[in-house]
Amino acid sequence: MPSPFPGMNPYLEHPDFWSEVHHRLITAIAIAIAPSLRPKYRVAIEKRTYMSEIEDSVLVGIPDVAVYSKRIQSTNQPGATVALAAQTEAISVTVPLPEEVRESYLAIKEGGTGTVITVVELISPKNKRSKEGRKAYEIKRQQVLGSPTHLVEIDLLRSGQPMRILEKIQSDYRILISRGEIRPRAYMYAFSLRDAIPSFTLPLRPGDVEPLVELQNILNEVYDQAYFDMAIDYNLDPVPKLKPEDASWASELLRSQQFRNPVEM
């Protein structure tokens, strides 16, 4: 069953789904554009690896425990009860553990030389929230921006701090196209939950035919192939939550397509 949303499906941003969405979408983009890049270019799926604390990942099963004290009574003297100082007992706590994080991205390479012409990044939650994740990504980003390599940066996540540009632009989602030959200028598609995801041309070497990346169609295919409709309960609110006006719009949209139960009168 197709996704009920005209653009990005906010339910796919849930932490339970995003890792799979990221893996499937980055692979689907590579498959979609590869035939039109032959014979001059090939698409490589590369990986970036770094260590991150578990602060915004899954905590290793330690429940929250309240600090408490026990009062001890003295029995040295018959009939006398003397309250001593409260003795604090040890409690169970959680320490942050490092975890290895691997993030995939696309590198468009010249077939003969292996020179990277374009990098395509799909932003992950750790890039926008985690200290280590953002630092690792920004180092890579600055390396690309300081080179002739083109950068395509796709952000389909509403939460977290967006990647830095000098202008203040408010939007739910964004796609940045940074061509090496015109930096520091770049082009940005800023769009909302209610908009279709824009298509964009993939920057290559001057004079080469640049393929159109129809990201909306690719994401729709990923949704269908993964059978996300079987995993998502549209009667629940998405995580992260929508803005109140978008929540009302989404609720109406889902009910009109019978993805959500009607309001009981």
What is residue 133's predicted lDDT score, i.e. its pLDDT?
A: 86
| Assigned CATH for 15-53+98-232 | 3.90.1570
Mean pLDDT of the chain: 89
pLDDT at 262 over 90: no
Single pTM value for the model: 0.83
- The residue assigned the tokens 């192939």 is 225
Tally Cβ neighbours within 10 Å of residue 241: 12
pLDDT bin (cut points 50, 70, 90) of residue 78 is low
pLDDT in tens, 111-161: 989 999 999 999 999 899 878 889 989 999 999 999 999 999 999 999 999
Q: What is the pLDDT of residue 17?
A: 97
Helices (H) and strands (E) in the chain, counts: 6, 12
By residue count, the chain amounts to: 265
Q: Are 219 and 162 in contact (CB under 8 A)?
A: no
CB 151: neighbour CB atoms within 10 A? 21
Residue 67 has pLDDT above 60, yes or no: no
Structure tokens at 118: 């374009």
The answer to whether the beta carbons of residues 245 and 192 sit under 8 Å apart is no
What is the chain's alpha carbon radius of gyration, rounded to the nearest angstrom? 25
More confident site: 170 or 75: 170
**Residue 16 pLDDT > 80:** yes
Boundaries of every domain in the chain: 15-53+98-232
Q: Can you list the pairs that 10-14 forms with residues at least 24 positions away whose Cβ atoms lie under 8 Å?
A: 10/158, 10/193, 10/238, 10/242, 10/250, 11/228, 11/232, 11/234, 11/238, 12/156, 12/223, 12/228, 13/156, 13/157, 13/158, 13/159, 13/238, 13/239, 13/240, 14/238, 14/239
Structure confidence at residue 58 (pLDDT):
38
Q: 264 has which bridge partners?
A: none
Q: Is the pLDDT of residue 14 over 50?
A: yes
Please check the confidence at residue 68 and state whether its pLDDT lies above 60: no
| φ/ψ of residue 171, rounded to 5 | -160, 160
Q: In sequence order, what are the beta bridge partners of 88?
A: 69
